[in-house]
Structure 1
Amino acid sequence: MSDENDVLISECSLQRFCTQVLEKIGVPAVEALLATNNLIEADLRGVYSHGVVRFPIYVKRILDGGTNPKPKISVVRETRTTTVVDGDNGLGHLVGIRAMEMAIDKAKDGDCAFVAVKNSNHFGAAAYYAEMAARANMIGFSFTIGAINHMAPWGGAEAVLGNNPFAVAFPTREPFPIVLDMACSVAARGKIIVAAKEGKPIPGDWATGPDGLPTTDAVEALKGFVIPVGGPKGYALTLTVGLLSTMLSGAYFGSEVGDLYAKTTTAQNSGHLFGVLPVASFDDLDAYFDRIQRGIADIRGAKKATGVDRIYLPGEREYLSLVQHREHGIPIGPALAEELSALAKAYHAEFDILT
C-alpha cells in the first residue's frame, strides 16, 4: 500500500530510532534490539501492517503499564519435547523469539518440539518465528491469538474472535524459505490500520462497518468486523488457531481478550504456540532438499495464465521486497512519519529520513 507520497528511511536509521526510544522507556538494550529487528523485518518484507505502524502503541502500552519493559521470561512446565513459557507480560516480539529459540534448542537432538506461551503480547508477523526454524533446517510453525477481538463467529453479530494469524516455513536451497503467513480474515486488520492512518480507502470485501455492512471506509471498518477468508471455513480456521494458541498455556481466549489499543493499562495475557519438525529426523537433508527443489521447479514451470510473467512461491515476494528495501530504504506513509518524528522529538531519538 506504499505510494509516491511515502518517505524513505534506511533500515539502520529505523533500527537506531526504535532502539533509542525503547531504551529511553526502560527496555534493556539487548532486548530492545531484538524486538526492534523483529519489528523492522516486517517493513523490510513489505508487510507494513505489522511493522513500525505498530510502534507507537507498543510504546504507549509500556508507558501506561500494560506491557512490562523488563520481563523475566520463565519456564512453568516442561517435558523432553514440550515447554510452557510465561512471558511475564513482556513485548510479544521478545517473548516469541525466546520461545522459538527454546523449541529449536529442544529439537537439536532430533525430537519434534512445541512451546506454548502465556502472558505475552502482540508479537508482530508470525513468519518471523517460523523462519527462525527454517534457518535451522527445521519446518517451523507459529500460531498466535489476535490482540483484539474484531471477528464474529459465523452467524454471530458480536466480535469474540481475533483474526489469529499463523505461519509455516519450509527450508529450501533458495535464498528464502517457502513461507505461508496469513491471518484468517480476508485482510489483516493491520492493513486497515495503515489505510486509516493514511486516509486511504480499503477494498469492499475486507471488513464491515459497525452496522454489519461491507465498507470501503477504513475508519468505519475499524469500528466494525473483519470478514473471515472463505466464509465459514475462515471462521473455523481462526477458531482453531485461537485454541491452539491459548488452550495449552492458559492464555486469554474469547471474551477474556483485551484490546491492544483501547486497554493499554492492563496486561493482555496473549498466547502463542511454536513448533518445529527437524527435517533430518525424517530423512537425509540432501534428499529432502532435492525433493523440495523438484517441487519448486514444478510450481515455477507450470503453464502461466494470460498476462502472467512469473509464478511466485509463498514468501518469495516478501524476500524480494526485503532485498529492495535494504538497498533503497523502507517506505513510510507521511502520517506515520509525522507520528514517529513526534516520538523521536519526545525522547531525543534520531529519526533520519532519506527522502
Structure 2
Amino acid sequence: MASEETQNVIVAEKALKSFCVEVLHKVGVPSDEANLIVDNLIEADLRGVESHGVVRFPIYVKRIVDGGSNPRPQIRIVRQTRTTAVVDGDNGMGQLVGVRAMEIAIDKASEGDCAFVSVRNSNHFGAAAYYAEMAARRDMIGLVFTIGGINHMTPWGGAEATLGNNPFAVAFPTDRDFPIVLDMACSIAARGKIIVAAKEGTPIPADWASGPDGLPTTDPVEALKGFVLPVGGPKGYALTFTVGLLSTMLSGAYFGSEVTHMYDKTETPQNVGHLFGVLPIASFEDVDAYRTRIGKAIRDMHEAKKAPGVERIYVPGEREHLALQARRAAGIPLGGGVFRELREMSEHFDVPLVASGAA
C-alpha cells in the first residue's frame, strides 16, 4: 500500500484553481491576471500534462517573491508591421505575456493575413499547446515556439549544457470537439516529468537523461544535476537549436550562454523568448472544405490497421482531450510530493487547500 507521502491525492479543479489564484494575489498579481495564469496550469493538469501543471507553481511564486519575475508587467509592442510585432513582456509571468502575444497575432490575422509575433523579456510560459489552441478556436493554425528557462541539454558531441529542450506546438482546427495538437519538447522527455519524478521519489527510464557524469541514469535527482537527452540523437539536437533560434533571434531574448537557471537564480530576470504564428484557414482554403478534409485525415488514422494488442489509434491531442473530460468530472490527481509542497504553501500564505480524496 502506498504511503501518505507517495499516494496520489485528488483535488477538485475549482478548489485547486481558487488556491493558486489566491496565493498569486497575495504576492502581488492582480486577480484577473492570476486567473489567467492559473487557468494555463490547471488545464495542463486536466490534460494529463503534469510536467507543466501546478508542479511549476511553487517556483513561479518564489521567482515573484525573490524579484526574478514582475507581478504587474506593462506588456507592450515595441515594433510592428501590419502582419508582425515584437512584444516586450516587462519580465511578466510567461502565461500573461504569451496570451497577449497570441492575441496580437490573431488580431493581425483577422482580415486574412498570416501573422507572427516575437517576444522578449518574458518567463517560462507553461504548456505551449495552450496558446496554439487559441488560434485553432478561431479557424487558424497556431504555431508556438519557446526557449527553455534552463540550459540542460548539450550540443551533439558536447559536454556542457548550452541549450534548453525548447518546446514547440502546432494546433489544427478540426471537425471534432478537439483540435489536433502537437506539443513537444525536443528532449526525449520534458524536464518537468523528471521534476515530478524527483518530487515523488520514483525512477525515470534510462533513456531520458544522463547524470552530471554524462552516463545514463534512472535517478531523477541525479538527472536534474545532469542533462536531458535529445529526441532522435543529432537530429533532436538540430531541432532544439532551430527552435531556440526561432524563439530568440527575432526579439533580442536570451540564447545559449546568456540563459540563466530558472530554479537556481530566482532573483534574476531571465529574458525568455517566444514566437507565435497564425495561419488563417480561409486565406488558403474554404473552411468547410478544410474541415471535411481534416476530418477524413483523422478517420484515416483511426481506421488504420492496428498492431497486435492495440485497441485504439489516437491523433495528437486526442488523449489529452479525453483526459481533460475525465479529470474535469472526477478531480485532478496530484502526486503526494506535489500536494505536500502545495500544502506547505497553503500554511505559509494562510490559504486553504482541501483534497477531495486519495487515488
- Counterpart contact for 1:141–1:168, Cα < 8 Å: yes
Deviation (angstroms), 1:209: 0.3
Matched, 1:342 2:335: no
Amino acid at match of 1:166: F
Aligned residue number for residue 326 of structure 2 = 324
Aligned residue number for residue 310 of structure 1 = 312
| Cα deviation code 1:297-349 (max 9, x no counterpart) | 11111000001010001000000010011000001111111110111121121
* SS of aligned partner of 2:339: helix
Amino acid at match of 2:328: R
| Cα deviation code 1:152-176 (max 9, x no counterpart) | 0000000000000000000001111
Aligned residue number for residue 177 of structure 1 = 179
Aligned residue number for residue 123 of structure 2 = 121
Deviation (angstroms), 1:278: 0.4
Structure 2 distance, partners of 1:46, 1:304, is 24
Aligned residue number for residue 13 of structure 1 = 15
Structure 1 distance, partners of 2:354, 2:96, is 25
Structure 1 distance, partners of 2:211, 2:43, is 31
Amino acid at match of 2:322: L
- Counterpart contact for 1:93–1:123, Cα < 8 Å: yes
* SS of aligned partner of 1:115: strand
Amino acid at match of 1:221: A
Matched, 1:214 2:213: no
Structure 2 distance, partners of 1:33, 1:312, is 31
Counting only pairs closer than 5 Å after superposition, residues 47-86 of structure 1 correspond to structure 2 as 47-86=49-88
Percent of paired sites with the same residue = 70
Aligned residue number for residue 235 of structure 2 = 233
Aligned residue number for residue 285 of structure 1 = 287
Deviation (angstroms), 1:33: 0.4
Structure 1 distance, partners of 2:155, 2:88, is 29
| Cα deviation code 1:161-204 (max 9, x no counterpart) | 00000000000011110000000000000000000011000000
Structure 2 distance, partners of 1:337, 1:306, is 38
| Cα deviation code 1:66-120 (max 9, x no counterpart) | 0000000000000000000000000001110110011111110000000000000
| Cα deviation code 1:268-321 (max 9, x no counterpart) | 000000000000111110000011011111111100000101000100000001
* SS of aligned partner of 1:211: coil
* SS of aligned partner of 1:102: helix
Structure 1 distance, partners of 2:39, 2:188, is 27
Structure 1 distance, partners of 2:337, 2:288, is 49
Unpaired segments ≥5 residues, structure 1? none
* SS of aligned partner of 2:198: helix
- Counterpart contact for 1:134–1:169, Cα < 8 Å: yes
Structure 2 distance, partners of 1:251, 1:154, is 23
Counting only pairs closer than 5 Å after superposition, residues 137-156 of structure 1 correspond to structure 2 as 137-156=139-158
Amino acid at match of 1:272: H
Structure 1 distance, partners of 2:169, 2:149, is 16
Match of 1:298 among 300, 311, 325: 300
Aligned residue number for residue 36 of structure 1 = 38
* SS of aligned partner of 1:266: coil
- TM-score, normalization by structure 2: 0.98
Aligned residue number for residue 252 of structure 1 = 254
Runs of 4+ in 1 over 6 A off after TM superposition: none
Deviation (angstroms), 1:245: 0.1
* SS of aligned partner of 1:250: coil
Structure 1 distance, partners of 2:262, 2:68, is 9
Structure 2 distance, partners of 1:343, 1:22, is 11
Deviation (angstroms), 1:249: 0.3
Deviates more, 1:343-352 or 1:241-250: 343-352
Amino acid at match of 1:118: R
Amino acid at match of 1:185: S
- Counterpart contact for 1:126–1:165, Cα < 8 Å: yes
Amino acid at match of 1:140: G
Structure 2 distance, partners of 1:221, 1:338, is 22
* SS of aligned partner of 1:222: helix
Structure 2 distance, partners of 1:124, 1:114, is 20
RMSD, aligned α-carbons: 1.1
- Counterpart contact for 1:39–1:93, Cα < 8 Å: no
Deviation (angstroms), 1:350: 2.2
Aligned residue number for residue 87 of structure 1 = 89
- Counterpart contact for 1:25–1:62, Cα < 8 Å: yes
* SS of aligned partner of 1:84: strand
Aligned residue number for residue 201 of structure 1 = 203
Deviates more, 1:256-265 or 1:335-344: 335-344
